[in-house]
Amino acid sequence: MAEKLFSFNTQPHVAKLGDSAELHFIPEVFGDQFLDGYKKIQDAREKISGQTDLTALSSEELRSLYAAMRTFLAGLMTPESAAEFLRFEVIKGGKTVADFRSRDEADAHAATVTGARVEDKSMRLPDRVLTELLEWVTELYGGGDSRPTGPSSGSSRASRRAGAPSKASSRSKGSTSTRGASAR
Residues 6+ apart with CB under 8 A from 180: none
CA 56/CA 5 separation, integer angstroms: 51
Instruction: Examine residue 50 and state whether it is found in any structural domain, yes or no.
Output: yes
Q: What's the whole-model pTM score? A: 0.67
> pLDDT tens digits, the chain, 184 residues: what are they?
899 998 888 899 999 998 889 999 999 887 777 888 888 888 777 766 665 566 677 788 788 888 888 999 999 999 999 999 999 999 999 999 999 999 999 999 999 999 999 999 999 999 889 989 999 998 888 765 443 333 333 333 343 444 454 455 545 455 444 444 444 4
Q: Are residues 115 and 99 in the same domain?
A: yes
Residues 63, 38 within the same domain: yes
Number of structural domains the chain divides into: 2
Contact 127, 99 (CB under 8 A): no
Domain of 114 in residue numbering reads as 87-121
Residue 36: its H or E element: helix 33-47
CA 81 to chain centre: 16
Same domain membership, residue 132 and residue 71: yes
Q: Point out which residues pair with 90 in neighbouring strands.
A: 98, 118
Task: Examine the domain organization and report whether 116 and 130 are in the same domain.
Answer: no
What is the phi/psi pair of residue 77, to 5°?
Answer: -90, 160
Let me know if residue 111 belongs to a domain.
yes
How far is 90 from 85, CA to CA, in rounded Å?
Answer: 16
Residue 51 sits in the same domain as residue 116:
no
CB count within 10 Å of CB 82 equals 20
Judgement on whether residues 117 and 132 belong to the same structural domain of the protein: no
Same domain, residue pair 66 and 96: no
